[in-house]
Structure 1
Amino acid sequence: MNFERLFDFLETLNKNNSKEWMDENRNQYETVKADYVKWLEDLDLKLSKIDENYYSSSGKKAINRINNNLLYHPNKPTYKDHFGAGLDKRPKTGDFYIHLGIQEIFVAGGFYKPKSELLKSIREAIDYNGDEFKEIINSKTFQKHFGGLMEDEAKLKTSPKGFSQDHKHIELLRLKSFAAMKPFKRKEVLSNDFKDQVIETYKAMLPFRRYLNKAVTV
């Protein structure tokens, strides 16, 4: 995978963010995209050998559209400044997300601002066995890779409906997102072992994601 070419394309696109430019350079985009899709499919195959419950998907299905949704975000540029892809995403579960951009590069997973019914299920799981969840996120492996949960600026200042203020896990129950993220530098993406680093990140996040996915599917 030529990640240098991927970043070069994104930087040029960011400076010429228009449909007219994209139409003129469609072949360049398709070449970069096809290269990345192939890389994702090899990663998908490797990850499927780690977890027996892994939900496999093609690279074309995993990769996100590069167009911004201007219907809901009319002030955004026509195209994104990154390639995003989600793997191991069974319907109504959290995915394993890879974000390669000119501003941010990271691997993340879990649930970022989930719908109310999913959030309710996660809170119920924490109410039932929050000690297990705390043990996962406080483990040496999780802390080493992610440093804890992603900061949640939307978290409640009081207790959610149905839970008391003095609940032993009240700080977790106040959250509206349950996600973990590991940032990467561009030089790490360009290194020969980037795929191995992503695989190690997947392994480190697996207990966390298993807990959350079980919470929303049981």
Structure 2
Amino acid sequence: MKNPKITKEAFDILKKLAKNNNKEWFEANKVTFKNYEAEVKSFYAVLQEKLNVHDDIEKMKMFRIYRDVRFSKDKTPYKTHFAGSFSRLGAHLRGGYYVHIKPGGSFIATGFWNPNKEDLLRIRKELEMDASEFREIINEKKFKKVWGDLEGDEVKTAPKGFDKEHSDIDLIKKKQFIFIRNFSDKEVLSDSFIETLDESFKSIRPYFDLMSDILTTNLNGESILD
């Protein structure tokens, strides 16, 4: 079976929405928009199947096009991109994948967007004790070629209870532990895009394996799972 792809027509409807971000235009073009949204959702569904060959995906979520404008200065009612996320299975496998499709601004992301308080402290404690394996993985040549540098929000100096002079404070002060890969429109519209995404996500596994091990054990390496 031929792999699905992101089509130029799907891009075009997003471009039109960006120029006409109002309820009147959307309602008049809703049927057409929903057809392309379904096309992209099918793309995500096939990507999930591919990910499940080498990972265990608990669920795939495609985000709604409607924006929550209650607390935003930007009152435009619709997003101008398609987005989907993939959650790994249960408490044993941690982390997730994200795919953002937008003309002129497509990217994928992976890692840990907003670790809860307990997970964040556990990660920081691990890095405080020994960050060598973590650095070895994220600095590996092939890994870095695909994902570049570790990204994410961080505190200004040091988290409470941690030494701001610690040799690994650049990692310890992170609040997020994510990697992002950007794509040109040409790459997104290519026949091989879904394979590129699958291979990119496959390459993150050494990082996920380490983080899953950290987040399912205590500092003595003993399992905290029932």
TM-score bucket (shorter structure)? 0.7 to 0.9
* Deviation (angstroms), 1:73: 1.9
**1:67-216 alignment, distance < 5 Å:** 67-90=66-89, 93-150=94-151, 152=152, 154-216=153-215
Cα gap change, 1:134 to 1:76, in 2 (>3 Å): farther
- SS of the counterpart of 1:73? coil
Equivalents in 2 of 1:131, 1:172: separation in Å?
11
User: Which of these residues, 18, 29, 33, is aligned with residue 33 of structure 2?
Assistant: 29
Cα gap change, 1:119 to 1:76, in 2 (>3 Å): farther
* Deviation (angstroms), 1:155: 2.2
Give 1 or 2 for the bigger CA radius of gyration: 2
Deviations, residues 43-98 of structure 1 (Å, cap 9, x unaligned): 111110112xx1243xxx42111111112324242111111110134468432000
Q: Bigger CA drift: 178-187 or 80-89?
A: 80-89
RMSD: 2.0
Cα gap change, 1:69 to 1:211, in 2 (>3 Å): farther
Look up the equivalent residue of 1:65 and give its one-letter code. R
* Deviation (angstroms), 1:29: 1.6
Percent identical pairs in the alignment equals 32
Deviations, residues 150-206 of structure 1 (Å, cap 9, x unaligned): 2x4x42232212222332321100112210011111101111111110011101112
Q: Is the 8 A contact 1:109 1:209 kept in 2?
A: no
What are structure 1's unaligned runs of at least 5 residues?
A: none
Moved over 6 A (4+): none
Partner in structure 2 of residue 6 of structure 1: 10
What are structure 2's unaligned runs of at least 5 residues?
A: 218-226
* Deviation (angstroms), 1:117: 3.2
What is the TM-score when the length of structure 1 is the normalising length? 0.87
Cα gap change, 1:67 to 1:121, in 2 (>3 Å): farther
What is the TM-score when the length of structure 2 is the normalising length? 0.84
